[in-house]
Amino acid sequence: MGFLYIVLGLIILVLGGNWLLKSAVALSLKLNIPKIVIGMTVVSLATSAPELIVSLNAAVKGSTDLALSNVIGSNIANLGLVLGITLLLGKMEIKKSFYATDWPMMIIASVLLYFFVKSDNAIVQTEGFILFGLLIIFLIYLLRFQKVAVVDELPEDDEPLPLYKIALFLFLGSAGLWIGSELLVNGSISLAKDIGVSERVIGITIVSIGTSVPELAASIIAFVKKEKAISLGNLIGSNIFNILAVLGITSIITPVKLVDQRLITNDVFWMMGIAFLILPLVFLPKGSRLNYKDGIVLLLFYATFFYFTL
């Protein structure tokens, strides 16, 4: 039953995330908020909603390892699995914003996460405020000084919806995220007990892959439609949001305590390892692009991580 709950929870989570995104974008357009602001705030937060709700729900239920492993696993999956598969479909040109803002911020967030957990085996409320505060500063910096670095994730044919449809999608999206997260968290805890593995293993493999499904779907659809909407910046942005927003908000509400030490002695180094690996892949042998060869390297990295995690 645990596995069935996980699958059902993931399906409802993806649907809920899409409905929430649809309502959030339509509401922003109705309020005449510039698309660049929508892209960096509303869209980013809405696409990180599955990770946020799952982590928050897990932490409140006392399964804090599930909350932490979900974020670490999702960050590894975004670069290893999602980016790896996307690059098999075609090459990706890398913008200056990658090394000017996106990559350095991802590294800072990752290192902060490591030291916060390493210091006292938990992310406490004060540290949560620091993480979330850093996100606000980063967003203000991007919107004020680095507007060219902000990738527009919204399709050009997006149209505002009637108010009743916005309310309907907002309700369905919120309900879907909550119900999906309940099924996913409860199913994960049940499956971990049934097969005798830790919540960390379930969180860093099945749950993290599941909550990265929206990014994977968006990447594949963008390439099929030959759109420029998806980029390395979008995936790195998702990783930044996962740490600063998801863990930041979760730890402000309830402390995220470490139970399984392998999260901090093993998994977090895989997360930082693939983050550092992206830099040489972008610049070698020809600068500012990624192709199918880099995709194969990333997928092999992820497969190796997956093998040694189980």
Give all domains of the chain, ordered by start, each with its CATH number. 2-309 (1.20.1420.30)
Please, is 236 exposed, middle or buried when counting C-beta atoms within 10 Å of its C-beta (0-12, 13-18, 19+)?
A: buried
Please identify which residue in the block is written with the tokens 């929870």: 9
d(CA 45, CA 211): 14
Rounded Cα distance between 177 and 103, Å, is 29
| 98: Cβ contacts below 8 Å, ≥ 6 apart | 232, 233, 236, 282, 288
What pLDDT does residue 111 have? Answer: 96
Could you give the C-alpha distances from 176 to 112, 140, 179, 206, in angstroms and in order? 32, 30, 5, 19
User: Which positions of the chain have pLDDT values less than 70?
Assistant: 33-47, 146-159, 218, 221-231
